[in-house]
Amino acid sequence: MELKTLSYLALGDSYTIGEGVEENERYPMQLVSRLNSLGGQYFFPPKIIAKTGWTVDELEAGIQAADTSPEGYDLVTLLIGVNNQYRGRPVEVYEKDFEAILQRAIAFARGKNDHVVVLSIPDWGVTGFAKARNTDQEKVAAEIDAYNAAKKAICSQYGVVFVDITDEYREIGGLPEMMAGDRLHPSGLVYTQWTEKLLEEVKKINF
């Protein structure tokens, strides 16, 4: 019996590209490795469209400039929004931009909303980088919460799975071993935890 071959598109920003960690530590790479270890199917290496610093509109521009498959993808993940918050953009603007990029993600998944998984925005206010800058952690946390609430509501509206990684990250994100060298981005250990959360959801998808 031949293995079913599957494709995966990961959309996002620095968290998706894995700023500061080795390529195999990025969560899209870890997820494919874990999925393939289950047997019965084979995921090709993920197509990653992500760049450190990208806002939602910059991700959209990146998608337009990228070489994407006209046949679509079997799985699409989306993690975007932290840079909108970091730049102080209103949550109302983010809502419109996120809804548009979610529609784009669903289209990439050939219209199958249950083949799209969205991750919540981590709270960078807990990191060593933020503390060194005397960042107002409560303000950042409140804004991240507002962004995530909007994101979750839109996902619910479209029947797309929303995975909360924010609460756990607030507990561990500031620990030395959980930060990359820049003390802002997560280490591979954090991405492993995100991978496990994603894996639980992806295993439910009927490919």
* 16 domain residue, yes or no: yes
Q: What was the pLDDT predicted at 191? A: 98
Does residue 31 lie within any of the structural domains? yes
Those residues whose C-beta lies under 8 Å from the C-beta of residue 129, and which sit 6 or more positions away, are 182, 183, 184
Supply the pLDDT for residue 75. 98
How far is residue 111's CA from residue 103's CA, in Å, rounded to a whole number? 9
pLDDT given at position 192:
98
Contact 116, 102 (CB under 8 A): yes
Q: Where are the alpha helices (DSSP H) in the chain?
A: 14-17, 27-37, 56-65, 82-86, 91-108, 128-132, 137-158, 166-172, 188-202
pLDDT band at 179; cut points 50, 70, 90: very high
Per-residue model confidence (pLDDT) at position 87: 96
CATH number, residue 197: 3.40.50.1110
Q: How many domains does the chain have?
A: 1
* Domain assignment of residue 47, given as a range: 4-202
Average pLDDT over every residue of 150-163: 98
State residue 82's pLDDT score.
97
Q: pTM for the full model?
A: 0.97
Mean pLDDT across the chain: 96
Do the Cβ atoms of 158 and 113 come closer than 8 Å? Answer: yes
Q: What's residue 172's pLDDT? A: 95
Does 207 map to a domain? no
pLDDT class for 2, splitting at 50, 70, 90? confident
Lowest-confidence segment of 6-10, 74-78, 126-130, 164-168 by average pLDDT: 126-130
Instruction: Report pLDDT for 1.
Output: 59
Average pLDDT over residues 171-194: 95
Separation CA 121–CA 207 (nearest Å):
27
pLDDT, tens only, 119-134: 999 999 999 999 999 9
Q: Averaged over 76-82, what is the pLDDT?
A: 98
Instruction: For residue 160, tell me if it sits in a domain.
Output: yes
Residue 8 included in any domain: yes
CA 129 to CA 197: how far, in whole Å?
Answer: 26
Residue 149 has pLDDT above 80, yes or no: yes
